[in-house]
Structure 1
């Protein structure tokens, strides 16, 4: 980041007399005083601790100015009413100052993978930067903007939502040229009340656009929320863009799309990842990436950690790990993918499913309904973990032989994660295949770590 002191003050509507401070060049911004480097702005946010308590430490570490909601002495500062709001204003200003082109991605499932794919495609042709990890909220998105390298040409931003209005705010900050919605599912339905409300929230990704392109699924639930002032491209069978001749392999996909002449190969399992790759390819085409570079970008994709990936256990068994998050749509898709893969010779198939969080009052129903996605003829052992998964046990015990279904409690009194880890580790043989899927807070990553 390259910014003058006066630009900072003007961008955040400084309420104090800042003209007495020198108009020095600022090089970065941090809300963790331990990460401050010489030339940085300090951002004192209020969380478990009040960041204002660390202003002195920030200056000791090299800060040259701080934002502040109170007047301070002995250091250059910019007085603002709300430090977080000022941070967001600064990010919006910086987007306008740099004129970087923004591609925004949201969706109930697949947004991080699609973001990574878009970045991989665009980076074959442009200087790109993307949301790091899961920095996709009201703090993470402006942080990403203000930390992009100075030579960035295309910025790929992931946008998440927990409540209505979250994505409106993020879109208003980022002003995307292209916005992509991967899927409307049930994530955070506890806070929205219905899938229609989730769709309404996701569609706010277009609110900050000016003469842009919105790429959205052919899902009727979004039709009444489509913007009238943007170009809208729909994807799905017989829509504006679609997949053709898809062939699924254990750890890669090959397919064609209607807007390119070349076949695409993606080193990931699951036909849902073919859709994500198609979206990335389309963004690349719109932004002038050549077909052979689109293909190369997808073949060499580097995913954010803990997304869907094949791993090899220490004993040689195959692990399909998808333990970062979970919702009913995502769980069904990964079960479909796993069950369609032929078993290894002399091997068995095992599945570990843990609770899906933030599904609200109908959580038990969503967990029960997973029984329709489970084929006992294709799964040899089923491990269920968590308070919500207990609802599925009552149905699964009717279709699995005794000893092939195991349940592990996790509630306020008991957590049987260690028992799950031990049983899975002992049961898994060298020729087996195992799928693990659950919300991040269920800590299935610990099972994966043990197997590795």
Structure 2
């Protein structure tokens, strides 16, 4: 069965699943493989649970005429997504960057969905599997698809662009993330800029943060760009009004107060504003969309109860985002400030240096308590409290209760799962 024929089947059953734990009736199941599993072994179960078809790439797992044999399930999923993307009329907005991708994507979707029919990447499903799944969620009436693209090595963004073929693009920033895979900051810049390279080659429109000298320099000779700035009069002006603790901004003589903490979220809001303006969303709707968006999934969440005021930012961490979070926390006008910081992952040979730098930054700030957790932080040189693993931190918190009415920043990489701290403070 070729891709065109498979797409005809997909139009009849326009829902895809790669996991038998969440199969819905009528789904087309793709038997993907991973390091520790072979999806082909679940094809029979998928059909029994109501899947319309199962796509397999090993002949021995053919069950009946509802099983479709292909050369490679992942490649077929990607080809089907690319075919469907070209079949539909929706405009594709792709975004990548080192920090803030998911929050920015959610803000853009909030703004555009106030006026248009949109779909957007669910959560952070932004890789070679997640991007195809997002594209396959586009329906005939979808006007915009906001597609988040993640990468931890060179040529990955270029490949995702090949699949999604975006009409518009935005890069949040270039920071110290996935240094191990990219081989350093220069590699990060080169890898993320693959989105620019695709859009320029295709003569498509680019949104940019004109306050970022890297973006400004890379796009200085490109004409199809639309940017925002706090100072540069050549671009749409957005004013930063502060973040105590929530980001406030002003555009078109309109002030908006978000539910996002930290000045580092200002540019994420700006990206949503600039796209709303470009696509003719009414300013009152832009304001309302930004003010109504509430972060979740451990991303800069505010948890306020009778005991503490907690900033839970435990979804991810890298040197750039860690520094920004600490600087913002340091500016908050609150009492009894406590930081609990977990290891940053995927830093390769830079891990020791980058963790020590975070320690030094923290030492220069006047926090009431600091706790580092994880093997990388444990190896740093500091007089501040440090714990080799979460169990050691848990033991300490059990024996030493956190003072009431504390303001607590919790931040670390996803693998540290620092949201577990909430059960012990």
TM-score, length of structure 2 as denominator length: 0.89
Deviation at 1:91, TM superposition (A): 0.9
Work out the CA distance in 2 between the residues paired with 1:59 and 1:443: 35
Aligned to 1:427, what secondary structure does the other structure show? coil
Contact 2:98–2:177 (CA under 8 A) maintained in structure 1: yes
**136 and 182 in structure 1: CA distance in 2 versus 1, 3 angstrom threshold:** same
Contact 1:203–1:222 (CA under 8 A) maintained in structure 2: no
Query: Structure 1, unaligned stretches of length 5 or more?
Result: 13-21, 398-404
Number of equivalences = 417
Work out the CA distance in 2 between the residues paired with 1:23 and 1:272: 41
- Picking from 166, 173, 179, the partner of 1:183 is 173
Does the alignment pair 1:385 with 2:373? yes
* 1:210-359 aligned within 5 A: 210-217=202-209, 218-221=211-214, 226=219, 231-239=224-232, 240-250=235-245, 252-257=246-251, 260-313=252-305, 315-344=306-335, 348-359=336-347
* 1:73-152 aligned within 5 A: 74-148=64-138, 151-152=141-142
Q: Which position in structure 2 is the counterpart of 1:400?
A: none
Q: Alpha-carbon deviations, 1:323-343, whole Å to 9, x = none?
A: 111111101111111111112
Q: Alpha-carbon deviations, 1:111-145, whole Å to 9, x = none?
A: 11111111111111112222111211111111122
Contact 1:271–1:337 (CA under 8 A) maintained in structure 2: yes
TM-score, length of structure 1 as denominator length: 0.84
**23 and 331 in structure 1: CA distance in 2 versus 1, 3 angstrom threshold:** closer
- Picking from 143, 146, 160, the partner of 1:156 is 146
Contact 1:385–1:407 (CA under 8 A) maintained in structure 2: yes
Work out the CA distance in 2 between the residues paired with 1:102 and 1:304: 24
- Picking from 402, 406, 411, the partner of 2:385 is 406
Work out the CA distance in 2 between the residues paired with 1:361 and 1:415: 26
Q: What's the Cα RMSD here?
A: 2.7
Deviation at 1:418, TM superposition (A): 2.2
Structure showing greater Rg: 1
Work out the CA distance in 2 between the residues paired with 1:441 and 1:338: 22
Work out the CA distance in 2 between the residues paired with 1:255 and 1:224: 25
Contact 1:266–1:274 (CA under 8 A) maintained in structure 2: no
**261 and 285 in structure 1: CA distance in 2 versus 1, 3 angstrom threshold:** same
Work out the CA distance in 2 between the residues paired with 1:299 and 1:381: 32
- Picking from 13, 18, 29, the partner of 1:26 is 13
Q: Which position in structure 2 is the counterpart of 1:64?
A: 52
Contact 1:171–1:206 (CA under 8 A) maintained in structure 2: no
Q: Which position in structure 2 is the counterpart of 1:418?
A: 394
Aligned to 2:404, what secondary structure does the other structure show? coil
Query: Structure 2, unaligned stretches of length 5 or more?
Result: none
